[in-house]
Amino acid sequence: MEAPKKIVLPERNPLTHAQHRKDVFWQITIPMMVGILLVLIAVTVVLLSATHAATNLSRWADVSLIWLILPSLLIAFIFLIILIAFTYLITVVLKMTPPYAHLIQLYFETGKYKISFYSDKITEPFIKTRSMWAVIRHPGRYGKHSPDGTDHS
């Protein structure tokens, strides 16, 4: 059995590698360092202002609360946008629905009339036969009295 061949990677191009390292430094490292520095400065200012007795701590507590609420507000804003989009889509669908619903209703009514017509045609011979049989079985019962109970013979 042969050992698997090792893949030999080509040498890096020194010009593009240097450009890549330069881009990483300016696009990733520097912005991250500036962000960390700004956070450290903000923490230092808050801590120094909280150690002075004359400082109003309520104001800093309010500022901290605002920063704690902002992420929740961002998430709530996203859900609000989704809710507005769904509401708009539902109104669009509701505006498009009535003509198609009316068309479907017309098809169902046509089907209802056809079914009624054909079921009447199918049952008509049976109903006529049974009514004639009823007249033949009880000849004296039919034609003598009207439905209101008066005698017309």
Predicted TM-score (pTM) of this structure: 0.37
Residue 106 has a pLDDT of 92
Q: Number of C-alpha atoms within 13 angstroms, CB side, residue 78?
A: 5
pLDDT (tens digit, 9 = 90+) per residue, 10-32?
A: 788 888 888 988 998 999 999 99
Q: pLDDT band at residue 151, thresholds of 50, 70 and 90?
A: low
Whether residue 89 is predicted with pLDDT greater than 90 in this model: the reply is yes
Question: 152 with 145: CB under 8 angstroms?
Answer: yes
Q: Which of 67-71, 112-116, 136-140 has the highest mean pLDDT?
A: 112-116
9 SS3 class: coil
Q: Please say whether the beta carbons of 48 and 60 come within 8 A.
A: no
For residues 79-93, give the mean pLDDT: 95
